[in-house]
Structure 1
């Protein structure tokens, strides 16, 4: 039995529970604040030396040049047996798709964080457009399809831009 004037035992427990919950909330807020601060610090733009930027540009432009050559070579081949060579035509088409998809991936993988943004942005667009075009071609899209035609125009424009930036 309880003595008169003593609070019920459930009240003592609820006060302890409120205190514990308040402490947990304070710790959680502190952890969240620390996480936000760390995340914001990691997003700050890192400064790269001119040498790092030049090396990154050289790597990216070399990758672009290799891919441009590979895509141009493999998308302009003719079947070895002529127009009637179905197997040769399929092989040529497969090589073209491989050049597009793997070329896009190669360019994207050669981008370094130190690559200057005015070069990195069109290179990302170029790599992604090549992969999109190649994937759609693998799915059966023709060059004359509106989406493919738009991608071809985008790739041509990016080629001109990148040729100037890497030239």
Structure 2
């Protein structure tokens, strides 16, 4: 009887190993080519929307010119919102099937955008070394995403 139980256990263990090798593990599931392509397309499209929104809203001029205090504050607020919301939007579009290199680049870019926005809200100027470094890193991350999305 012990031999039967041992053989059954070995067969069951072998079957489980075979199934895992065919299906992947929860940590690294196998996605179809179509799933990976769809996920890549979604992240690339989201990154494009974010890129356009951030570019538009961080380059606006106050409607009344530089002396328009209210307009200046409104433009600055829109810029900060576009940075933070753009980061959140991009993070929300990263699907588990997104190719890992693209997912990592998108996460880095999204988090940098939120860091830039949060620090701007806290009073950091783009000319300050820490904020300038964040901006440079965000530009590099954006370029990496654009390259991966080709």
Both structures adopt the same fold (TM-score exceeding 0.5): yes
1:47 counterpart (27, 30, 41): 30
Higher RCO (Cα < 8 Å, 6 or more apart): 2
Cα distance in 2 for residues equivalent to 1:157 and 1:75: 17
Query: What TM-score, normalized to structure 2?
Result: 0.82
Cα distance in 2 for residues equivalent to 1:58 and 1:163: 12
Extract unaligned runs of 5+ from structure 2: 1-23
Query: What TM-score, normalized to structure 1?
Result: 0.74
Match of 1:116 in 2: 99
Larger radius of gyration, structure 1 or 2? 1
Instruction: Spell out the pairing of 1:12-161 with structure 2 (5 A cutoff).
Output: 43-161=26-144
Cα distance in 1 for residues equivalent to 2:36 and 2:143: 22
Extract unaligned runs of 5+ from structure 1: 1-40
Aligned residues: 127
The CA deviation at 1:44 is 3.0
Task: Supply the RMSD in Å over aligned alpha carbons.
Answer: 1.3
The CA deviation at 1:43 is 4.8
Match of 2:149 in 1: 166
Cα distance in 1 for residues equivalent to 2:70 and 2:149: 38
Cα distance in 2 for residues equivalent to 1:129 and 1:150: 10
